[in-house]
Amino acid sequence: MRLYDRTYASRLMLGTALYPSPAIMREAVRASGSALVTVSLRREQSAGAGTGAPGFWSEIRDLGVEFLPNTAGCHTAREAVTTARMARELLGTNLVKLEVIADDDTLAPDVFGLVEAARTLVDDGFDVLPYTTEDLGTAERLLEAGCRVLMPWGAPIGSGLGLNNRYGLRSLRERLPDVPMIVDAGLGRPSHAADAMELGFDGVLLNTAVASAGDPVRMAAAFRQAVEAGRAAFEAGAMEPRDMAAPSSPLLGRAALA
């Protein structure tokens, strides 16, 4: 998977929140095979603040993965830009997952604020991965703003609904075949991830489906297998569905009764 000038061995990106314990989170990341994990700047700031307790980075810095800071929870372009700049100063990376949230109930992207923030950050030297919808018009404006990767949602964050608008995602993928795209949010089962990969998306990003599972480590491994299987199916050329049955056994040479 290639994002901007970076290449990753895994097409599965994993979040680092909501796990039962730091130890389980570390094991889940290892089981997933992820080379890129998302982290929240707010979380690191609050970890052990003023207490001398170990911070978040001390829990995951030995995993050998790259960190993708995000602007989760930001509701305005200005807030998202400020958070991204703080993350770059802290982590020393220009890569950022850009979120500008419109509504607290659905956590849907604010596409107007998103485009505004993306343009500012690109001009400031960031490599922006925008969390967006499957809307083609929004995608084109993000590309015009300088984004070279898109992250359309599958469903509302944490919902586990899978691909809510499969037609819209398929259309977006077909209209912009050369743009790297990651399906982000709403995936609840490994089959959802495989479905996204079979449509030709370059990767998936998820958190809740693994972190809230009864066995997060085993679920992380299951998602890893699903992503690999879905990508292999896409590259192999999966058959298209038919409206009518088609015999799989040849009719030529069939026995006939006189």
pLDDT tens for residues 17-51? 999 998 999 999 999 999 999 988 765 554 444 43
Q: Is 208 annotated as a binding residue?
A: yes
Name the residue range of residue 71's domain. Answer: 2-236
Tell me the pLDDT tens digit for each residue of 109-162. Answer: 999 999 999 999 999 999 999 999 999 999 999 999 999 999 999 999 999 999
Helix (H, G, I), strand (E, B) or coil at 215: coil
Q: Is residue 252 part of a domain?
A: no
Q: Is 165 annotated as a binding-site member?
A: no
Is 158 within any annotated ligand binding site?
Answer: yes
In-domain check, residue 194: yes
Is 247 within the bounds of a domain?
no
Q: Which of 88, 97, 224, 231 is catalytic?
A: 97
Q: Count of domains in the chain?
A: 1
Residue 253 in any domain: the answer is: no
251 within domain boundaries: no
What CATH number is associated with residue 141?
Answer: 3.20.20.70
Task: Confirm whether 130 is domain-assigned.
Answer: yes
Domain assignment of residue 250, yes or no: no
213-257 pLDDT per residue, tens: 999 999 999 999 999 999 999 999 988 888 888 877 776 666 666
**Amino acid letter for position 216:** P
- Give all strands (DSSP E) within the chain, no chain letters: 2-3, 6-7, 12-15, 36-40, 66-70, 95-98, 127-132, 151-152, 182-184, 203-206
95 is a catalytic site residue: no
Over 60: is that where the pLDDT of 180 sits? yes
Q: Is 76 annotated as a binding residue?
A: no
Whole-Å CA distances, 204 to 51, 152, 208: 36, 10, 13
The answer to whether the beta carbons of residues 193 and 187 sit under 8 Å apart is yes
Is residue 243 one of the residues assigned to a domain?
A: no
pLDDT score of 63: 81
